[in-house]
Chains A and B, each alone.
Chain A
């Protein structure tokens, strides 16, 4: 992984210069087209994927967020 990307994405303080560059909802995937897939990990460290999640149900709600 790119160490610079890791540091910038996991910013250490909530200041506009650090968090605003990441807020790019306007550039997110469009509705109606196949979505990009990514690996994800369960709390026990087991690897799964976003595609495994959406394939499991008729619809899947995915809330993005963190403790803070």
Chain B
């Protein structure tokens, strides 16, 4: 996702990471109890995990996150007027880049004076499922996160 942000920044596509609640609280990054702690965890996301996009933090009660469906790692794309034009219940760079390329083409077509009207489409996209990488992420937060995930999903 960082690479996509860099690739399309000059084309007028902004990218941010919006920090929510801890999906898998553990010994190292436990559940959140204060805004100061939330800002510390978000800073670690930048410094340790290398998120290079601007990171913005939601309120402690997750007002924004909850209003948009509360999924742990979803992605939305907004146009400049504040209309959501893409939403996915999971973040996948291939899906997001595919959408960006389509929407940039829409801008080009408008510049070429094509008359267009929006319509809704549903599509099932596919994401890479890397169990080893996922568990490595859980292990970064200590054994509690690993144990709880195994107990929840086997």
Contacts A14-B145, A53-B16 given; does A66 touch B72 at CB 8 Å = yes
- The SS class assigned to the B binding surface is mixed
Cβ contacts under 8 Å, B154 to chain A: none
What are the 7 tightest A-B residue pairs by CB atom distance, in nearest-first order?
A28-B69, A57-B14, A58-B12, A38-B64, A54-B78, A25-B69, A22-B70
Q: In the complex, how many residues of chain A place their beta carbon closer than 8 angstroms to a beta carbon of chain B?
A: 55
Write the nearest CB–CB distance from B92 to chain A, whole angstroms. Answer: 10
Residue interface bits A6-33, CB-to-B below 8 A is 1, else 0: 1001111111100100111111111111
Residue interface bits B4-30, CB-to-A below 8 A is 1, else 0: 110000011111111111111110011
A-B contact pairs, 17 of them (CB 8 A): A11-B31, A22-B66, A25-B87, A28-B67, A28-B87, A40-B57, A41-B35, A41-B56, A51-B82, A54-B79, A54-B82, A59-B80, A60-B14, A63-B53, A63-B73, A66-B45, A67-B45
Most buried by B among A9, A23, A29: A9
